[in-house]
């Protein structure tokens, strides 16, 4: 096959989204953040809403989304992204407003903001990266850390009698009348990536249509925090994380 044939549109397999800029990503090898960033950029482009999209990112690894996806971003204090998103969406109801948060941020420091924004049915989308650990700040135990899982603050493993149970925040949000869509996905295989893309797109559509709060939980790896290789991390996630956080839609009130 000649070079001219290879670059024909019908032979194109993948192209980097225009909204995903050329900054060198700093994430650790195997990190899920880069994949999710790409999906967000693709979806916003495909929906033609680049000029209408506003992302809210707080402290933690999630904050660096503004460096890579070329849309309007607002940085929020740790855990406060849903509160900021509430204000932005209410002041700009025609905009597609979403938050991009990790588990320590959303399910610990920001539990109050998360629950009450969802309970009010704010017309925002929440992208929730759950890797069961505080990645950026030193690998501490998060609310989502599994029983027996070793972290810098649970070096012998999480103990239920001492640290409590892992928090399934998405399952809690399902119970709230204000949520229209709650789903749990992953990006460890091509098939999983496709499902996650569809889920994020649905959440973004819900925001634009004013249907209530959508949450897309993405069960992810943190190979640096877990002290594993990327391959080992994916295997460990499949064997352990998915048992506690099974994939699939938890709630969908949108008629298909």
**Cβ pair 154, 163 in contact under 8 A:** yes
Superfamily in which the 29-252 domain is placed by CATH: Thiamin diphosphate (ThDP)-binding fold, Pyr/PP domains (3.40.50.970)
Average pLDDT rounded to a whole number, residues 157-173: 96
Q: What's the confidence (pLDDT) of residue 203? A: 98
Q: What is the per-residue DSSP string for 10-54?
A: GG------TTB-SPPP-SPTT-SHHHHHHHHHHHHHHHT-GGGEE
Residue pLDDT, tens place only, 35-61? 999 999 999 999 999 999 999 999 888
Between these two residues, 170 and 139, which has the higher pLDDT value? Answer: 170
Label residue 4 by pLDDT band (50, 70, 90). Answer: low
226 and 241 in contact (C-beta within 8 Å)? no
Burial of residue 120, with CB atoms counted within 10 A of its CB: 0-12 exposed, 13-18 middle, 19 or more buried: middle
222 and 131 in contact (C-beta within 8 Å)?
Answer: yes
pTM: 0.93
- Rounded average pLDDT over 140-154: 95
Phi and psi for 92 in degrees, rounded to 5?
Answer: -135, 70
Domain boundaries, the chain: 29-252
The per-residue pLDDT for range 238-251, each reduced to its tens digit, is: 999 999 999 999 99
């Amino acid at each position: 096959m000649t070079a001219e044939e290879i670059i024909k549109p019908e032979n194109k397999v993948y192209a980097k989204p225009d909204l995903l800029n050329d900054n060198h990503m700093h994430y650790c090898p195997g990190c899920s953040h880069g994949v999710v960033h790409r999906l967000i950029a693709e979806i916003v482009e495909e929906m033609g809403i680049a000029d209408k999209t506003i992302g809210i990112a707080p402290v933690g690894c999630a904050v660096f989304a503004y460096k890579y996806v070329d849309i309007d971003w607002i940085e929020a204090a740790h855990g406060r992204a849903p509160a900021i998103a509430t204000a932005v969406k209410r002041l700009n109801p025609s905009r597609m407003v979403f938050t991009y948060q990790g588990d320590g941020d959303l399910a610990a420091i920001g539990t109050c903001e998360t629950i009450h924004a969802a309970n009010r049915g704010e017309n925002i989308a929440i992208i929730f990266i759950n890797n069961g650990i505080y990645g950026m700040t030193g690998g501490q135990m998060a609310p989502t850390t599994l029983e027996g899982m070793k972290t810098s603050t649970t070096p012998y493993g999480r103990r239920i009698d001492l640290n409590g149970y892992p928090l399934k925040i998405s399952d809690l949000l399902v119970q709230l009348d204000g949520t229209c869509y709650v789903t749990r996905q992953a990006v460890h295989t091509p098939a999983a990536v496709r499902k996650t893309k569809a889920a994020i797109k649905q959440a973004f559509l819900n925001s634009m249509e004013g249907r209530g709060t959508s949450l897309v939980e993405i069960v992810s790896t943190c190979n640096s925090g877990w002290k594993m290789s990327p391959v080992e991390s994916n295997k460990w996630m499949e064997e352990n994380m998915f048992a506690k956080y099974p994939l699939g839609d938890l709630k969908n009130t949108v008629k298909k």
